[in-house]
Each structure stands twice: as structure tokens, then as C-alpha cells.
């Protein structure tokens, strides 16, 4: 799906519902500034949730290469944006992903695509972290996988406790990363500024 030109089924119904929401909020959806808003929001929501139509496992297998490399591969500082499923407000940040190949590697950009696919769904950060790890583990069958996600949540900044500077960090790991030494190596490598 090209998010700028192709939209999923139900777009008109979604826009109609947003028009109703505007009315329920006390707005006049017919006033000049809001006339096109319901369709704009409907299109935006379809773009922001396009991950439901994508297969993260297929993304990894489309660029799967046999390679005799068994050291850590890290893709860090992967920017992402997602929507919290509790309030449908954005959370955003960076994901850091490492895996230790077991005979196969995948294209580096595919790791970032996996993050994009799971972040473009209604999410909680904890589940998104786990889904990224599980997808890489189940598809590549590596010796280990570790994922760390750092994010700011607008549902904490704009409403509720209104804490502007809080950052939530989640992690998930398996295989060789169960060893503290391997986890520490990963954490050291993602904490250093490079390039």
C-alpha cells in the first residue's frame, strides 16, 4: 500500500464517523476549516495503522541470505511513531535491534521495516517490543535476538500526569542474550555515539 495514494476499504465510513465525532465534541463540521477534516483524519488513520496489512515475516524472508557470520548484528536508533491503543495518542522514539545469525542474515533495512510494521498498528510499547523480537526469532532462527525500545508517550505528556520529560524503556530478548555478558555488550554498543 502506498500510504499517499492507496487507502483501505472503509475510508468513507471512517470519515463519516469522524464527522460525527466533531459534532459530538461541539464543533460544526460544515464550517470552512473543518469541511475536509473528517476525510483527512480518516486517511491519516489508515496511514498510521497500515501495519495491519503488512507481513513482517515476509519482509525478512524477501532478503534472506546464507552467510557464515555468527557475531552480533545491531541496527540501532530506528525512529518510529505509533499510536497508544488506550487513548489513540502518539508515542514515538527509537528501537534498537540485535540478532546473532545462525547461518542466515537479512537485509539491514528489513529490520527497520519490521519495526515500522509493528509500530503502524494500535499498540502498547511492551507488546510492540515483544512482537519485533518474536518476528525476528521465528523467521531467521538466530542464536539470539534482543530488542530495546525507548519512547515518549503523548498520553503521559498531554493528559493524565502531564510529565513532559519521561521516557519509557522496554526490552525483550531470547537465546544467547539470556547471558548477562551478551546483553551487556549489546547495551554498551547501543549507548555509544557512532558516526
- The residue annotated as part of the active site, out of 120, 125, 131, 135, is 125
- The residue annotated as part of the active site, out of 46, 96, 123, 153, is 153
87 is catalytic: yes
153 is catalytic: yes
- The residue annotated as part of the active site, out of 27, 57, 87, 174, is 87
Please check whether residue 89 is in contact with residue 103, taking contact to mean a CB–CB distance below 8 angstroms.
no
- The residue annotated as part of the active site, out of 30, 67, 85, 126, is 85
Q: How far is CA 23 from CA 19, 35, 87, 89, in A?
A: 6, 12, 19, 20
Residue 23, helix vs strand vs coil: helix
CA pair distance 133, 66, nearest whole angstrom: 21
- The residue annotated as part of the active site, out of 86, 126, 138, 184, is 86
List phi, psi (to 5°) of 185: -60, -45
155 is catalytic: yes
141 is catalytic: no
Which residues neighbour 137 within 8 Å (Cβ) at sequence distance 6 or greater?
145, 174, 175
- The residue annotated as part of the active site, out of 27, 57, 130, 155, is 155
CA pair distance 14, 84, nearest whole angstrom: 19
CA pair distance 84, 80, nearest whole angstrom: 13
192 is catalytic: no
Catalytic residues: 84-87, 125, 153, 155
Amino acid at each position: 500500500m502506498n500510504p499517499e495514494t492507496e487507502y483501505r476499504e472503509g475510508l468513507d465510513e471512517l470519515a463519516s464517523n469522524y464527522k460525527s465525532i466533531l459534532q459530538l465534541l461541539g464543533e460544526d463540521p460544515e464550517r470552512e476549516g473543518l469541511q475536509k477534516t473528517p476525510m483527512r483524519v480518516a486517511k491519516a488513520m489508515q496511514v498510521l495503522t497500515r501495519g495491519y496489512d503488512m507481513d513482517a515475516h515476509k519482509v525478512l524472508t524477501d532478503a534472506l541470505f546464507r552467510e557464515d557470520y555468527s557475531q552480533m548484528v545491531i541496527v540501532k536508533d530506528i525512529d518510529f511513531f505509533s499510536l497508544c491503543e488506550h487513548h489513540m495518542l502518539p508515542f514515538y522514539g527509537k528501537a534498537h535491534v540485535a540478532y546473532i545469525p545462525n547461518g542466515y542474515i537479512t537485509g539491514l533495512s528489513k529490520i527497520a521495516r519490521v519495526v515500522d510494521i509493528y509500530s503502524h498498528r494500535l499498540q502498547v510499547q511492551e507488546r510492540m517490543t515483544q512482537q519485533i523480537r518474536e518476528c525476528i526469532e521465528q523467521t531467521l532462527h538466530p542464536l539470539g535476538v534482543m530488542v530495546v525500545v525507548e519512547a515518549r508517550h503523548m498520553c503521559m505528556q498531554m493528559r493524565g500526569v502531564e510529565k513532559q520529560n519521561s521516557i519509557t524503556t522496554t526490552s525483550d530478548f531470547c537465546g544467547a542474550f539470556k547471558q548477562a555478558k551478551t546483553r551487556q555488550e549489546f547495551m554498551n554498543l547501543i549507548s555509544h555515539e557512532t558516526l
